[in-house]
Structure 1
Amino acid sequence: MPGRTCFARPRRSLRGRLSVVPVTVRRSGPGGGAVTTAEASGVAAPAWRGGFGRLWSAAVVSRFGDALRTAALPLIAVRLTDDPLVIASVTACGYVPWLLFGLLGGAVADRVDQRRAMWAVDTVRGALVASFALAVGLGHASIPLLFVLAFSLTTLQTLFDNASTALLPSLVDPEALGSANARLMTGQQLAGGLLASPFVPLLLAAGAAVPFAADAVTYLLAAALVAFLRIRAPERAPRPAGSTLRAEMADGLRALRRDRPLRAICAATLLCNIGMGALIATVVLHVTRWLHTGNAGYAAVMTAYSAGSLAGGFVAQRIANRVGRVRALLLCVGVQTSSLVLIGTVRQLAALIVGMALLGAMGMVWNVNQVTLMQQRSEPSMVGRIAAAFRTASTSGAPLGALLGGAVAQVYGLNGPALFAAVLFALAGTALIPALTPDVPVVEPDDGATTAHVTP
């Protein structure tokens, strides 16, 4: 499909000056075509009225309920068993579906009406959690039931998350994608990281089933909000005769592999996820046994991480406007590597709090810019599949990192996982170098004369 160029769109340059620059967007779909337009600096903000406001509200409400369930689930598990391996396996069930069904979820998300898929999934998830709340209330909770719940919810999430990523470009202008992603992620972090925490003990005091019942209500409310979204239907080319889901999943993998910046960012994200998996899995030991600061210290560290994430959401787009999205990612790994070295070498709670706050802030900056780049560089009909390929490849690092973190802590000491993570983050910075190619074209001009490039 021939490229399409948009000329002389006023925007602010990376240094903040108002400039007129021809904007183009390169696509790397299976047909090699180039279709939509996107801007590198993206200073525009999405309008709250209409579709984006509803999507933001649905995401925040749903994340609030998820936080309630996530906090209550381990407490139910420890009432049913004292086997650490069994309890850890409940958490593992939250990762396995991404490895099994992540690519399938992306292919389905590109085939169907994403809005309908999202509200249907949330309705089913609400019914599942409501049924579990009823089982808990009647005293019928069991470990196998926990496995089924965790596995089922994450399996449905593979479709929901990929559909959500593909839907957002239909709700906001291309130049507003960065701001939209920042607002979505910041709102979710605020709801899940800070607001939900005080409610958990209150709800648990009212009964073990109450947090799950509340989560079910938030799913159904989010489904209602998404059901009434008004969106611009993306243009989709007819699927070739005989096209299968398997072939379409392969198309997503090929598109990710052919796009050098996205391929490099995916490799870097995988390395970072291994490092964060190692750190998060052992941070409770770092706090309580290496620093000897007890539960209060652990609470302070987790609060610092959440607060840092919120701060990162507010500055993510500003940093991208200043230095570009790919260089913003490189800045993130530099700051995070230094933070991990601080955490692993300075045996003070204050150092850990500062380090975790910086990790949270730069993690949010990374997430906002990584998702925005993926949306901008993906053909509209393939956003779900490319997002699924990206998530499946990078998510596999978290459980691997958790296992490696435990082994490193056992062999090299309780501060070892932080230093191990620092090495991986430094390697992630090296992996990003191919994405820093100057003048990466964002749409190939179709007139044979015009050239337009965007510095990453």
Structure 2
Amino acid sequence: MTATEAVRTRTPAWRGGFGRLWTAAVVSKFGDSLRTAALPLLAASLTDDPLLIASVTACGYLPWLLFGLLGGAVADRVDQRRAMWAVDLLRGLLMAGFAGAVWLDLGSIALLLALAFALTTLQTLFDNAATALLPSLVPAEALTSANARLMTAQQIVGGFVAAPLVPVLLVVGAAMPYAADAATYAVAAALVASLRVGAPQREPGPAGSTLRGEIAEGLRTLWRDRAQRGLCIATALCNIGMGALIATLVVHVTGWLGAGPGGYAAVITAFGAGSLAGGLLARRLADRFGRIRSVFAAGLVQTGCLVAMGSVRALWVTIAAMAVFAVMGMVWNVNQTTLIQERSPAQLLGRINSAFRTLAIAGTPLGALLGGAAAAAWGPNTPALLAAGLFIPAVASLAPLIN
């Protein structure tokens, strides 16, 4: 383990704002998970074209390419707390309107595409602001634990609570998952607005500073950091594969496996269970082996899971593979996020995070479209194998960073 990978651990205090931020994140994730699980089923009920279904997922990632860098620069300029609650209020209004449209039986693929694009556009500002805000609420040595607690709790409500509820809510009414999501946005906005965090203290920028120049500064800083640069490249390759897998997972489970909505809910629940275990494991692996080694090992295991999913036509295999895949995914995500927060100057954190996420997510819409095309041409299991083929060079690219 190198000095730059040294990991210090401490449990974050619930007081001081972290508890409210944690609660807001969990409540919002609950609603988002209802929507995320319900939307593919709604899309599948509107069309049987895998490419159109995958396009909904692709459209949900596209704004990161268009506005991700801008969102990071804005997050470094504004009061992050105010930006977060304002965005949540607006997202709540959008979801309430969408729920009304579904209730009136006005849903369409075009409306789903527009919703996915709008929500992710707002998310580019919210997520960058949230990443930059967390270090002001917890000490530096508690960041690993704080990120793990946030991500683990979000996966618990997403996998154990929200996903199993979706079939029940759909029996009550097709609009129910979306109405619940709108309500959670309102609750999360109120919690974030109540945080007692003053406006960030920033040194005034140089005369003539522009958003374009500030974005470029964030990109340069990211690219000069060898560890962040390497991890960004690896994550970008993996996300192409993830785009292919996620966009066609409902077709994989309900079509190739013939498991129906119940099977799809079981797979999503398994993913949530695995993420819970991964959240508990992430800090321990980082303490023992360092962040880069932990991410490297996680990627190797995930590759094997993808091969199993695409090769074995059995629901139980897909459930088990998704659970293990999620364990390793949480190990990757916790250590990735903490590494960025630890290695980035505070005044650049929003921009560096947005640069990382934009570059890393850039291939996800392409992956979603490739996955849809592959499923249509060669069968619903091929996107998982395509993803495995992309994970192999991604993991290999991390090897030079291990000292």
| Fold equivalence (TM over 0.5) | yes
Per the alignment, residue 329 of structure 1 pairs with 295
1:250 to 1:63, Cα distance in 2 relative to 1, 3 A: same
Per the alignment, residue 320 of structure 2 pairs with 354
Alignment partners' CA distance in 2, 1:273 and 1:83: 23
Per the alignment, residue 165 of structure 2 pairs with 199
Per the alignment, residue 398 of structure 2 pairs with 432
Spell out the pairing of 1:127-138 with structure 2 (5 A cutoff). 127-138=93-104
Per the alignment, residue 62 of structure 1 pairs with 28
Count residues in correspondence: 403
Deviation at 1:406, TM superposition (A): 4.0
Which sits farther off after the overlay, 191-200 or 342-351? 342-351
1:129 and 1:216 in contact (8 A); partners too: yes
Alignment of 1:251 with 2:217, yes or no, is yes
Per the alignment, residue 120 of structure 2 pairs with 154
Alignment partners' CA distance in 2, 1:246 and 1:252: 10
Instruction: Encode CA deviations 1:160-179: one digit per residue, 9 max, x unaligned.
Output: 00000000010101010000
Instruction: Encode CA deviations 1:204-241: one digit per residue, 9 max, x unaligned.
Output: 34433333222222111111111111236654221111
1:294 to 1:187, Cα distance in 2 relative to 1, 3 A: same
Deviation at 1:407, TM superposition (A): 4.4
Which residue identity lines up with residue 229 of structure 1 in the other structure? L
Deviation at 1:142, TM superposition (A): 5.2
Deviation at 1:336, TM superposition (A): 1.4
| TM-score with structure 2 setting the length | 0.90
Alignment partners' CA distance in 2, 1:255 and 1:404: 32
Alignment of 1:403 with 2:369, yes or no, is yes
- Identical-pair percentage: 66
Per the alignment, residue 7 of structure 2 pairs with 41
Deviation at 1:75, TM superposition (A): 5.1
Alignment partners' CA distance in 1, 2:127 and 2:58: 19
Which residue identity lines up with residue 133 of structure 2 in the other structure? L
Spell out the pairing of 1:110-259 with structure 2 (5 A cutoff). 110-138=76-104, 141=107, 143-231=109-197, 234-259=200-225
Per the alignment, residue 370 of structure 1 pairs with 336
1:261 and 1:434 in contact (8 A); partners too: no
Deviation at 1:71, TM superposition (A): 3.4
Which residue identity lines up with residue 182 of structure 1 in the other structure? A
Deviation at 1:54, TM superposition (A): 0.3
Per the alignment, residue 271 of structure 1 pairs with 237
Give the secondary structure class of the aligned counterpart of 1:41. coil
Of 352, 362, 366, the residue aligned with 1:386 is 352
Which residue identity lines up with residue 98 of structure 2 in the other structure? F
1:262 and 1:435 in contact (8 A); partners too: no
Which sits farther off after the overlay, 338-347 or 136-145? 136-145
Spell out the pairing of 1:18-33 with structure 2 (5 A cutoff). none
Which residue identity lines up with residue 301 of structure 1 in the other structure? V
Per the alignment, residue 451 of structure 1 pairs with none
Which residue identity lines up with residue 252 of structure 1 in the other structure? G
| TM-score with structure 1 setting the length | 0.80
2:31 and 2:184 in contact (8 A); partners too: yes
Alignment partners' CA distance in 1, 2:49 and 2:311: 33
Deviation at 1:196, TM superposition (A): 1.1
Which sits farther off after the overlay, 318-327 or 281-290? 281-290
Gaps of 5+ in 2: none
Q: Could you say which structure has the larger radius of gyration?
A: 1
Alignment partners' CA distance in 2, 1:85 and 1:410: 7
1:234 and 1:380 in contact (8 A); partners too: no
Per the alignment, residue 448 of structure 1 pairs with none
1:60 to 1:144, Cα distance in 2 relative to 1, 3 A: same
Of 261, 276, 297, the residue aligned with 2:227 is 261
Which sits farther off after the overlay, 153-162 or 342-351? 342-351
Per the alignment, residue 443 of structure 1 pairs with none
Deviation at 1:414, TM superposition (A): 5.1
Give the secondary structure class of the aligned counterpart of 2:163. coil
Instruction: Encode CA deviations 1:122-172: one digit per residue, 9 max, x unaligned.
Output: 111112222333444455555544443322211111000000000001010
Alignment partners' CA distance in 2, 1:142 and 1:118: 29
Deviation at 1:48, TM superposition (A): 1.3
Instruction: Encode CA deviations 1:9-58: one digit per residue, 9 max, x unaligned.
Output: xxxxx8xxxxxxxx988xxxxxxxxxxxxx83222010112310000000
* Alignment RMSD (CA, Å): 2.7
1:386 to 1:434, Cα distance in 2 relative to 1, 3 A: farther
Alignment partners' CA distance in 1, 2:391 and 2:371: 14
1:333 and 1:425 in contact (8 A); partners too: yes
1:333 to 1:265, Cα distance in 2 relative to 1, 3 A: same
Of 270, 273, 282, the residue aligned with 1:316 is 282
